Amino acid sequence: MMLKTEELKFDEKGLIPAVVTDHYTKEVLTVAYMNAESLKISMEEGRTCFYSRSRKTLWRKGETSGNVQHIVSITADCDKDALVVEVVKDGPACHTGAESCFFNKVYESEKFNDFSIDALYDLIKGRKTEKKEGSYTTYLFEQGIDKILKKVGEECTEVIIGGKGGDKAETVFEIADLTYHVLVLMVEMNILPKDIIAELAKRHVVDKKVKQQKMK
């Protein structure tokens, strides 16, 4: 059941904070403010429109830069006084040119591993642009596409063997190897992780439509 906008709780200035997130990566892109009018425009146009507290006026994201944010969904929190706006963006969210406005770390715990596929991708990419002596990754790039494809094929076979043998630990190990070599291939072909996520998201939508048709 959809919440009515009249049920939202705007502050004394008629504003409500909007946390904008990337639909594909789930990364927080920016935090802005909306008033009733900008929220209405955002929902009608399907793109983000905010209220500038400094200029005291409405502004549409991408109006001058072209970096439009297409809205996938808008969700209110339990108190109905804050919003999460999930978007598909046409370009960087930050005026600095960064993908997200949040890039200045204030604190980071040493207890938790900050691993991500994007971080691994960037590390692999660095081994291509800034060659490191003795690096296996750099070696693969130097050998070229045929060598990389051969390794991807070999790792596919190892995954099949692990899965067929029913050994979970071995299969996990081999899938990790395959993932690494696929990422090397992606860097070589200039394919970004978000390109794969976008393709999977499109297939997810198609799958939902097929299921809906079968239910009719």
Based on the fold, state whether residues 195 and 127 are members of the same structural domain.
yes
Closest CA to 93 of 62, 115, 119, 121: 62
Based on the fold, state whether residues 67 and 126 are members of the same structural domain.
no
99 found inside a domain: no
pLDDT value of residue 162? 96
CA distance from start to end of the chain: 21
100 found inside a domain: no
Based on the fold, state whether residues 77 and 133 are members of the same structural domain.
no
- pTM given for the model: 0.66
Closest CA to 52 of 74, 69, 30: 30
49 found inside a domain: yes
Based on the fold, state whether residues 81 and 142 are members of the same structural domain.
no
pLDDT value of residue 208? 58
CATH of the domain at 129: 1.10.287.1080
What is the tally of structural domains in the chain?
2
Based on the fold, state whether residues 123 and 186 are members of the same structural domain.
yes
> Cα–Cα distance between 142 and 91 in angstroms, integer?
32
Which structural domain range is residue 68 located in? 5-89
pLDDT value of residue 210? 56
CB 42 within 8 A of CB 76: no
Based on the fold, state whether residues 43 and 130 are members of the same structural domain.
no
CATH of the domain at 35: 3.10.20.810
Based on the fold, state whether residues 136 and 182 are members of the same structural domain.
yes
Query: Which two tokens mark 24?
Result: 């594909």
Based on the fold, state whether residues 122 and 208 are members of the same structural domain.
yes
Q: Is the dihedral of CA 60, 66, 72, 75 positive or negative?
A: negative
pLDDT value of residue 205? 62
User: What are the pLDDT tens digits along the chain (216 aa)?
Assistant: 899 999 999 999 999 999 999 998 889 999 999 999 999 999 999 999 999 999 999 999 999 999 999 999 999 999 999 999 999 999 999 999 999 999 998 987 777 766 789 889 999 999 999 988 999 999 999 999 999 999 999 999 999 999 999 999 999 999 999 999 999 999 999 999 989 988 988 887 656 555 555 545
